[in-house]
Amino acid sequence: MSGASLLFEDGCKFIINNMRVMKFLVEAQEIRGQCLEGETLLSLALRLKLPLHHSCGGMGTCGTCRVVVREGLEQLPSPGEVEQEMIQDRGFSKIERLACQLEPIEGLIVEIPTSSF
Ligand code: FES
């Protein structure tokens, strides 16, 4: 497998084949992140130490990792069954998604709502 690799202090090694860069909006700040292989939007946010609740640990059952998609919504895959159920239960708007159920894509911009802090 070709590509760069990153080794973290805890021993985790990530292979980077397809660098995807996206942005998080946190209050008035823009935070740029480079997605690693296998990361979800939630795991990228946590690696960047951003304030994003995740009560169920990324299982798609708590709804606390809700983010607002500001750019790139049309390029995201449709919500899967677990996410769709949460969207309906919680009455998400069309631009709200679960960070734990999404893989970041190049150019994506998502806002972390202040209710997540
Ligand atoms: S972390 Fe619970 S739904 Fe995403």
Encode pLDDT of 55-103 as tens digits. 999 999 999 999 999 999 999 999 999 999 999 999 999 999 999 999 9
Contact status, residue 31 vs residue 48, Cβ threshold 8 Å:
yes
Give residue 80 CA to ligand 1 midpoint distance, Å: 13
| 51 vs 1 pLDDT, higher one | 51
Give the Å distance between the CA of 78 and the centre of ligand 1.
Answer: 17
Torsion angle of alpha carbons 59, 102, 112, 54, nearest 10°? 10
| Backbone φ, ψ for residue 69 (5° rounding) | -85, 115
Look up the CATH number of the domain holding residue 53. 3.10.20.30
Tens-place pLDDT, residues 25-44: 999 899 999 998 889 999 99
Which atom of ligand 1 is nearest the CA belonging to 98?
4
Query: Per the domain annotation, does 4 fall within a domain?
Result: no
What is the model's pLDDT at position 2?
Answer: 43
Asked whether residue 6 is assigned to any structural domain, the reply reads: no
Which of 39, 46, 65 to probe ligand 1 with, by most ligand atoms within 8 A of CB?
65
- Point out the ligand 1 atom lying closest to the alpha carbon of residue 56: 2
CA dist 98 and 76 (Å) reads 12
Looking at every residue in the chain, the average pLDDT score rounds to 89
* Residue range(s) defining the domain that contains residue 80: 19-116
Query: How many domains does one find in the chain?
Result: 1
